[in-house]
């Protein structure tokens, strides 16, 4: 092979390698784009399948409880749910001598009510209930009781004055086969003069409008009600 032929062959090999590299980069970028689009579609579907869960606080009979209803969407035939009471705010231990330690603070349910310990699957602290299954349009209820004041609090009366009528704050954790879990917060009205509240909550527990409703025949104790889609695990 002559010099010219050799140069032509080398140039052809170089062009072939460059074309192959370009094709590889194009295919890699296409795969990346395809993967991103697929993730967007999965996220969209997950959002569309967000469970519609309705929570109601009811103390009309003098025995406080929370009612949980699964309203949809229809493609979800059932969900597994966990309710967990949220503290009114974040707290840590104090450096002052004689102040409660971090574990002592964590063992207090800081709010107006807790689940009745040992009843309806509630844990010994009354902060959460065991996982339970709700079928479409099904409902269940859980007994509540006023939270006791911790031993270092000034008095039980001061505790009652601080929390009476404040909102019951909850985490609602839902899961369904073939889906990532959803989590959202809900704040339920417990004031005795409430006539009932209904609202829709967005991802992250933010309110997005809402509508006041009145439960017929309601007198005396109030019922706070909130219906919401439960959001994905902090990523939605």
Model pLDDT for residues 184-214, shown as the tens digit of each residue:
778 898 876 553 443 333 344 433 322 222 2
Report pLDDT digits (tens) over 13-38.
Answer: 555 656 666 666 676 666 667 777 77
pTM exceeds 0.85:
no
Percent of the chain with pLDDT over 70: 64
- Give the pLDDT mean for 98-117: 91
Q: Which of 5-14, 65-74, 131-140 bottoms out in mean pLDDT, i.e. has the lowest?
A: 5-14
Nearest to 169 by CA among 190, 187, 183, 148: 187
**Predicted pLDDT of residue 87:** 93
**Predicted pLDDT of residue 199:** 33
- Is pLDDT at 12 greater than 60 in this prediction? no
Q: Which of 15-24, 92-101, 227-236 bottoms out in mean pLDDT, i.e. has the lowest?
A: 227-236
Q: How far is CA 216 from CA 45, 196, 223, in A?
A: 37, 10, 11
The better pLDDT of the pair 86, 204 is held by 86
**Predicted pLDDT of residue 175:** 92
Q: Give 190-193 contacts, CB < 8 A, sequence gap 24+.
A: 190/57, 190/59, 190/64, 190/112, 190/113, 190/165, 190/166, 190/222, 190/224, 191/165, 191/222, 191/224, 192/59, 192/165, 192/220, 192/221, 192/222, 193/222
- Give the pLDDT mean for 67-91: 90
**Predicted pLDDT of residue 208:** 31
Q: How far is CA 18 from CA 10, 14, 25, 198, in A?
A: 12, 6, 11, 64
């Amino acid at each position: 092979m002559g010099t010219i032929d050799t140069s032509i062959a080398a140039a052809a090999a170089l062009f072939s390698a460059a074309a192959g590299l370009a094709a590889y980069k194009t295919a890699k970028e296409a795969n990346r784009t395809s993967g991103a689009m697929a993730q967007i579609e999965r996220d969209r579907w997950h959002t569309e399948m967000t469970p519609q869960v309705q929570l109601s606080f009811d103390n009309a009979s003098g025995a406080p409880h929370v009612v949980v209803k699964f309203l949809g969407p229809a493609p979800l035939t059932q969900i597994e749910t966990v309710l967990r009471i949220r503290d009114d705010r974040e707290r840590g231990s104090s450096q002052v001598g004689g102040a409660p330690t971090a574990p002592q603070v964590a063992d207090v349910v800081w709010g107006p009510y807790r689940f009745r310990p040992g009843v309806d699957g509630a844990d010994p602290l009354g902060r959460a209930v065991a996982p339970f299954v709700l079928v479409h349009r099904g409902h269940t209820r859980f007994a509540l009781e006023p939270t006791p004041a911790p031993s270092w609090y000034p008095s039980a009366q001061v505790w009652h004055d601080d929390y009476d009528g404040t909102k019951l704050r909850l985490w609602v954790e839902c899961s369904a086969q073939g889906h990532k879990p959803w989590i959202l917060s809900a704040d339920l009205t417990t004031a005795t003069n409430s006539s009932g509240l209904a609202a829709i909550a967005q991802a992250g527990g933010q309110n997005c409008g809402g509508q006041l409703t009145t439960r017929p025949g309601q007198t005396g104790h109030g019922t706070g009600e909130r219906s919401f889609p439960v959001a994905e695990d902090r990523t939605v």
